[in-house]
A and B are shown apart, each in its own frame.
Chain A
């Protein structure tokens, strides 16, 4: 295949005699070249200059083509969004109080080293509660019960009274156990609040491992200001699962007492359930009642009447309440 120079030389007429004949013989055996020469000779124009411009465009396109094609960016962003969504879902589905169990290996015999090490780990403590039974009474602030893993017998130790501690304390109440763990972030307190426990019972702690249950480590801030306590989900803490059940029991009792079985349903011996969803407004009054499962027009009306005329306060919730009102025919004695 002739190179570009041969083509342009031939078109310019610079090839004559045998050179031209060779090129033409090559054309006859190469359809690509033959049709190209035909095209280049059919229209007038500075084709050599045009081809050079096209070559420059190719070079420019090469630089712009570094980035990925369009559809790759769409696919990559799609997968990133999915990953973020999965991460957020997993994060929110976890226990609201972040539980962190740290195992502190206390090896040195000199306890002062242990306390000096704590700030580097972003940890401080003034009381350590061992993993204890749920039924155990919660210890007071002036008393610390410490129990090592190797020595299961608990030891009651008197601690020195705590000095005034700044208000930035983190209290966390485990939903499942009544223990309270207090952690402060005040560097000056460490030495003062060292309980005599460690001085008195050096042997018991020097080679044992303690588990600090539910220590909450706060992230370090760049500016050393007071660390704000983490806001806890009070609703979750305060609300007990039984409240909802109690309310439902009351409501069902009310329905049982106040239900007026429609005549037409009685005559037709109609039985069943009417399911409704109730959404409360800010005042706690039903603002929207929606029929989910219907029975008969008269039964539906009766169910709505019961909900509207409920005298007691409704359950405090922002979500929709699903209520099932059973219509059961009275049993003849």
Chain B
């Protein structure tokens, strides 16, 4: 039965669990995102044992929450649960410490995707906007989206550190979006 469950989508597994209440479906669903849950907990708590505890605590709470919440996309809902749980844990440790919102997180709020294989007009606009970017941002965006190099390869090629590469790519992406919006070109929305 375990091998057969892998072929099902998240929504199917969730509905199977909600109707049958069999743990196997929820376990399979949670195992798919277990590395992500653990990784997010690691990022916020900076402690491996605490991150492990958070993973198991979220698992314990999952049974009840899944029944009472109206979940459309399980991955997104789980991500919010994990973040909230980690933030709660951080507040417990140091009551008045606030975790600032990561600016990079704002990059994920839009559905902007660079796809240079669009119509000639949009392609031209994209190239024009790319020319307006600062040099470092332009370089990294070209390497990443046009030459399809990985962070490591860009790091080796450009001499920038990996964090800088990430930062340049994301900032360059944001500036491109703004430039295209000014030119009246709508965002490229990728459907999943």
Contact = CB atoms under 8 A, between A and B. Distances in A.
Contacts, number: 123
Interface in A227-248: none
B154 to A, nearest CB: 9
Given A28-B107, A32-B33, A42-B46, A47 B27 contact: no
Interface string A5-31: 001100001011110111011001111
Nearest to B39: A36
Contacts of A86: none
Nearest to B41: A39
A225 interface: no
Most chain-A Cβ atoms within 10 A of its Cβ — which of B43, B56, B111? B43
Interface in A54-69: 54-55, 57-59, 61-62, 65
Interface residues of B, number: 49
A4 B107 contact: no
A313 to B, nearest CB: 68
B152 A36 contact: no
Nearest to A61: B59
A238 to B, nearest CB: 61
Given A3-B32, A50-B48, A51-B34, A29 B108 contact: yes
B34 A20 contact: no
Contact of B39 (A30, A40, A55): A40
A31 B104 CA distance: 9
A56 to B, nearest CB: 11
A7 B153 CA distance: 18
Contacts of A39: 38-44, 51
A1 interface: yes
Interface in B1-40: 23-24, 27, 30-40
Given A31-B108, A62-B23, A43 B42 contact: yes
Given A4-B32, A28-B107, A58-B30, A37 B55 contact: no
B65 to A, nearest CB: 14
A87 B5 CA distance: 49
Contacts of A30: 108
State which size class the interface on A falls in: 35 or more
Contacts of B23: 62, 65
B117 interface: no
A55 B148 contact: no
B182 interface: no
A40 to B, nearest CB: 4
B109 to A, nearest CB: 9
Contacts of A38: 39, 43
Contacts of A25: 144-145
Nearest to A62: B23
Contact of A32 (B40, B46, B149, B190): B40
B105 interface: yes
A31 B36 contact: no
B39 A37 contact: yes
B190 A29 contact: yes
Contacts of B151: 20, 24
Nearest to B147: A21
Nearest to A15: B150
Nearest to B162: A41
Contact of B34 (A1, A4, A34, A35): A4
Nearest to B22: A62
Contacts of B44: 39
15 contacts: A1-B33, A3-B32, A7-B36, A13-B152, A16-B150, A20-B151, A28-B108, A28-B173, A29-B111, A31-B79, A32-B76, A36-B36, A47-B42, A50-B38, A55-B34
